[in-house]
Amino acid sequence: MIEKRDNTIMIHTARSTYQMMVGRYGHLLHLYYGPRREDLAPLPELADRGFSGNPYEAENDRTYSLDALPQEFPTLGTGDFRSPLLILRDAEGVLGCDLRFVSAEIRPGKYGLPGFPAVYDDAGETLEVTLQSTKPSLTVRLYYGVLGELDVITRAAMVCAGEDLIIEKAQTACLDFTFGEYERMIFWGRHTMERVPDRGPVNHGNFSMESRRGMSSHHYNPFMILMDPDATEDSGRCWSMQFVYSGGFKAEIEKDSYGQTRMQMGLFQDQLAYPLKAGEELVLPEVIMSFSDCGLGRLSRNHHDVIRRHLCRGPWRDAVRPVLLNSWEACYFDFDGDKILSMARSAADLGVEMIVMDDGWFGERTDDIRGLGDLWYNEARMGCTLSELVDGVHDLGLKFGIWMEPEAISENSDLYREHPDWALAVPGRSPVRSRYQLLLDFSRDDVVDEMYRRICAVLDSGADYLKWDLNRSIADVYSSGDAVPGQVLYDYVKNLYRLLEQILERYPDLLIEGCAGGGGRFDAGMLYYCPQIWCSDNTDAVDRLTIQYGTSFGYPPCTMGAHVSVVPNHQTGRVTPFATRGAVAMAGTFGYELDPRKLSSEEKAAVREQIKCFHEDAPLVMDGEYYRLSDPLADPYSAWVFVARDGSRAKVTAVRTGGADDVRAADIAVKVRGLDVDAQYVIDETGAMLAGRTLMDSGLPLPPATEEYQCYVWHLKKAR
Distance between CA atoms of residues 40 and 239, nearest Å:
19
- The rounded mean pLDDT for the chain is 96
CATH code at position 306: 2.70.98.60
Residue from 523, 593, 595, 625 carrying the catalytic annotation: 523
Pairing mode of beta strands 249-255, 354-357: unpaired
Comparing C-alpha atoms, which of 308, 302, 151 is closest to residue 623? 308
Is 545's pLDDT higher than 90?
yes
Strand duo 281-292 + 238-243: pairing: antiparallel
The pLDDT of residue 6 is 87
Q: How far is residue 45's CA from residue 425's CA, in Å, rounded to a whole number?
A: 54
Residue-level pLDDT at 50: 87
- Domain membership of residue 358 (yes or no) is yes
pLDDT category of residue 666 using cuts at 50, 70 and 90 = low
523 is catalytic: yes
Among candidate residues 249, 276, 310, the one where a domain is terminated: 310
Question: How many domains are contained in the chain?
Answer: 3
Residue 421 maps to a domain: no
Position 648 in a domain = yes
Strand 193-201: give its sheet, edge to edge.
100-108, 125-133, 138-147, 152-161, 281-292, 238-243, 223-227, 183-190, 193-201
Both 466 and 404 in a single domain?
yes
**Which band of pLDDT confidence, cut at 50, 70 and 90, is reported for residue 662?**
low
The three-class DSSP label of residue 105 is strand
Same domain, 306 and 332: no
Please identify, among 281, 310, 339, the residue that sits at the C-terminal boundary of a domain.
Answer: 310
CA 93 to chain centre: 37
Q: Residue 676: is it exposed, middle or buried by C-beta count within 10 angstroms (0-12/13-18/19+)?
A: middle
Question: Which residues form the domain of 377?
Answer: 324-410+446-473+511-623
pLDDT, residue 49, reads: 86
Worst-scoring range by mean pLDDT, 27-31, 192-196, 600-604, 655-659?
A: 655-659
Whether 554 and 464 map to the same domain: the answer is yes
55-93 pLDDT tens trace? 999 899 999 999 999 999 999 999 999 999 999 999 999
In a domain, 122, yes or no: yes
Within this chain, do residues 172 and 293 fall inside the same structural domain, yes or no? yes
CB neighbours of 560 closer than 8 A, spacing ≥ 6?
532, 533, 535, 548, 551, 587, 588, 589
Tell me the C-alpha to C-alpha distance, in Å, between residue 146 and each of 108, 398, 602.
10, 41, 52
Boundary residue ending a domain (310, 343, 363): 310
Model confidence at 645: pLDDT above 60: yes
Same domain, 300 and 329: no
Q: Is residue 290 part of a domain?
A: yes
pLDDT of residue 670: 97
What does the pLDDT average to over 647-651?
96
Q: Give dist(CA 143, CA 109) in Å, integer.
A: 12
- Asked if 469 and 575 sit in the same domain, the reply is yes
User: Could you confirm whether 48 is annotated as catalytic?
Assistant: no
**Are residues 248 and 119 part of one domain?**
yes
In this prediction, residues 268-282 reach a mean pLDDT of: 97
Report strand pairing: 399-404 vs 465-468: parallel
Catalytic residue among 168, 388, 603, 623: 603
Q: Is there a single domain that holds both residue 125 and residue 263?
A: yes
How large is the average pLDDT for residues 345-365? 98
The length of the chain is: 720
Same domain, 619 and 644: no
Strand partners, 5: 8
- Average pLDDT of the segment spanning 4-27: 96
Residue 221 pLDDT class (50, 70, 90 cuts): very high
Position 478 in a domain: no
Pairwise CA distance, residues 132 & 147, whole Å? 27
661 pLDDT band, cuts 50/70/90, is low
Question: Phi and psi for 185 in degrees, rounded to 5?
Answer: -125, 130
* 103-159: pLDDT as tens digits: 999 999 999 999 999 999 999 999 999 999 999 999 999 999 999 999 999 999 999
What pLDDT, in 10s, does the model give residues 224-264? 999 999 999 999 999 999 999 999 999 999 999 999 999 99
For position 690, which CATH number holds? 2.60.40.1180
Q: Cα(136)–Cα(95) distance, rounded to whole angstroms?
A: 9
Are 615 and 644 found together in one domain? no
For CA atoms 508, 470, 560, 353, give the dihedral sign: positive
CA–CA distance, 455 with 475 (Å, rounded to integer):
25
Residue 702 lies in a domain: yes
Q: What is the pLDDT of residue 41?
A: 93
**Across 479-484, average pLDDT:** 95
CATH of the domain at 564: 3.20.20.70
Q: With beta carbons less than 8 A apart as the criterion, state whether 157 and 73 touch.
A: yes
142 and 286 inside one domain:
yes
Q: Are residues 467 and 531 in the same domain?
A: yes
With contact defined as beta carbons under 8 Å apart, do 163 and 256 qualify?
Answer: no
The H or E element containing residue 331 is helix 328-331
- pLDDT beyond 60 at 556: yes
In a domain, 57, yes or no: no
> Helix 601-623 and helix 578-585: axis angle, to 10°?
20
**In the predicted structure, residue 665 carries a pLDDT above the cut 60:** no
pLDDT tier at 1, thresholds 50, 70, 90? confident
